């Protein structure tokens, strides 16, 4: 960090010289333009205009289909390039592209937001991504990911407690929707790392939040995976029993009550993060420690002691264990919310920097 004095130029203008080391680093010279961007905190950032214009350049990736000789490899390469912010993805082969690769490309395109096949020949498939980051504020995208994942979780457990196995199948079918929002979130966040103008467009003012948002997005996507597992366990429980249900109604009622508590916990945790509400985050952590976690431990013990059908007991225990992991995720999000709120001064905590 270095400081410079403001100089007066003419009758009313003020000026400050730019550090020589920075000028050399970014390659500025006489006559170049710079852009001024005001931060929310009142600061002013100076960006060479040519760096802002970089976003207009097309980022392209070429995937050699011949190398993708294992199932799912091409699909993962396409998703990886999408997440890394590539605008054009070419799939090429020296001879004819295999029908399995064509099908793989078509299938994955349906699971990615803002991308489509613009050209398809026997030797080449071109995918074009046209996403305007300004249309996807990061908080809006992450809230959408939360809504999908938390509702999947709630309805997965509800499928068990209501003996609604069609609902379990519906929950499993929504996993792709969660993946779509997760991959879009990663694309936006990784693009924001390399291009500050994208960070501004999606509403990230502090670079530290890029890593934090990525970690939270991973947890929300994992919540959807846990919901899928619970729905799958629900189906397996049905296969274990000719009665299509767990006999112990009191046990099922306890699972249902716990489900409502954890779903409420998911809402409080994400709201505390997006609004910076430290009290809400703290109450979420207390709810987890004092109520949810002890209830989960008691439930697992009851399942082991009371459920005589060993097949049902195994899958029911797995349901409750997955419910605990969802609760763990909520606690972790609430902890991030507190840490983020403490980054700036507030009524709770005044921040002072400098020598004492």
Percent of the chain with pLDDT over 90: 63
Q: Which ranges of the chain have pLDDT less than 70?
A: 1, 10-12, 37-43, 50-57, 241-247, 354-356
The tokens for 209 are 């939040």
56-129 topology per CATH: Translation Initiation Factor IF3 (3.30.110)
Q: Nearest 5°: phi and psi at 37?
A: -125, 125
Q: H/E element holding 8?
A: strand 7-9
Q: What is the pLDDT of residue 55?
A: 47
The tokens for 233 are 């366990």
Q: H/E element holding 211?
A: helix 208-240
CATH code linked to domain 134-341:
1.20.58.220
7-55 topology per CATH: Pemi-like Protein 1; Chain: D (2.10.260)
DSSP summary character for residue 36? E
Is residue 269 within 8 A of residue 143, CB to CB? The reply is no
Q: What is the pLDDT of residue 355?
A: 54
**Domain parsing of the chain, residue ranges:** 7-55, 56-129, 134-341
Q: What is the pLDDT of residue 42?
A: 59
CA count, 13 A, side-chain hemisphere, 148: 25
Which residues contact residue 43 at a Cβ distance below 8 angstroms, ignoring those fewer than 6 apart?
none
DSSP letters, 222-245, are HHHHHHHHHHHHHHHHHHH-TTSS
Place of tokens 């096949």: 117
DSSP letters, 75-128, are HHHHHHHHHTT-SEEEEE-SSPPPHHHHHHHHHHHTTSTTEEEEEEETTEEEEE
Q: What is the pLDDT of residue 311?
A: 87
Q: What is d(CA 30, CA 33) in angstroms, rounded to the nearest whole number?
A: 9
Which residues contact residue 317 at a Cβ distance below 8 angstroms, ignoring those fewer than 6 apart?
300, 303, 304
Which residues contact residue 171 at a Cβ distance below 8 angstroms, ignoring those fewer than 6 apart?
152, 155, 156, 159, 227, 228, 230, 231
pLDDT tens-digit readout, 223-253: 999 999 999 999 898 888 666 566 678 888 9
Q: What is the pLDDT of residue 337?
A: 93
């Amino acid at each position: 960090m270095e400081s410079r004095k403001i100089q007066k130029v003419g009758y009313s203008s003020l000026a400050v010289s730019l550090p020589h080391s920075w000028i050399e680093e970014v390659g500025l010279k006489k006559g170049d333009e710079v852009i001024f961007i005001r931060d929310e905190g009142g600061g002013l950032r100076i960006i060479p205009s040519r760096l802002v214009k970089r976003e207009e350049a097309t980022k392209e990736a070429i995937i050699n289909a011949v190398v993708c000789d294992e199932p799912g490899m091409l699909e993962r390469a396409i998703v990886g390039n999408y997440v890394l912010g590539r605008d054009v993805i070419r799939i090429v082969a020296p001879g004819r592209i295999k029908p399995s690769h064509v099908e793989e490309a078509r299938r994955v395109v349906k699971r990615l937001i803002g991308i489509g096949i613009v050209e398809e020949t026997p030797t080449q498939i071109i995918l074009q991504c046209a996403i305007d980051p300004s249309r996807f504020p990061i908080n809006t995208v992450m809230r959408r990911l939360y809504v999908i994942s938390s509702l999947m979780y709630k309805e997965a457990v509800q499928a068990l407690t209501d003996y609604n196995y069609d609902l379990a199948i519906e929950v499993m079918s929504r996993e792709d929707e969660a993946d779509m929002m997760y991959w879009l979130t990663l694309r936006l966040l990784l693009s924001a790392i390399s291009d500050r103008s994208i960070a501004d467009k999606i509403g990230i003012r502090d670079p530290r939040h890029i890593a934090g948002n990525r970690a939270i997005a991973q947890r929300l996507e994992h919540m959807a995976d846990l919901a899928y597992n619970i729905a799958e366990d629900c189906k397996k429980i049905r296969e274990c029993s000719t009665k299509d249900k767990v006999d112990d109604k009191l046990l099922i009622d306890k699972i249902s009550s716990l489900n409502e508590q954890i779903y409420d916990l998911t809402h409080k945790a994400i709201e505390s993060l997006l609004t910076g509400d430290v009290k809400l985050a703290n109450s979420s952590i207390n709810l987890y420690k004092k109520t949810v976690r002890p209830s989960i431990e008691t439930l697992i013990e009851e399942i082991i002691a009371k459920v005589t059908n060993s097949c049902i007991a195994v899958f029911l225990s797995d349901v409750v264990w997955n419910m605990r992991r969802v609760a763990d995720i909520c606690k972790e999000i609430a902890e991030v919310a507190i840490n983020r709120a403490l980054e700036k001064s507030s009524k709770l905590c005044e921040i002072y920097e400098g020598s004492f």
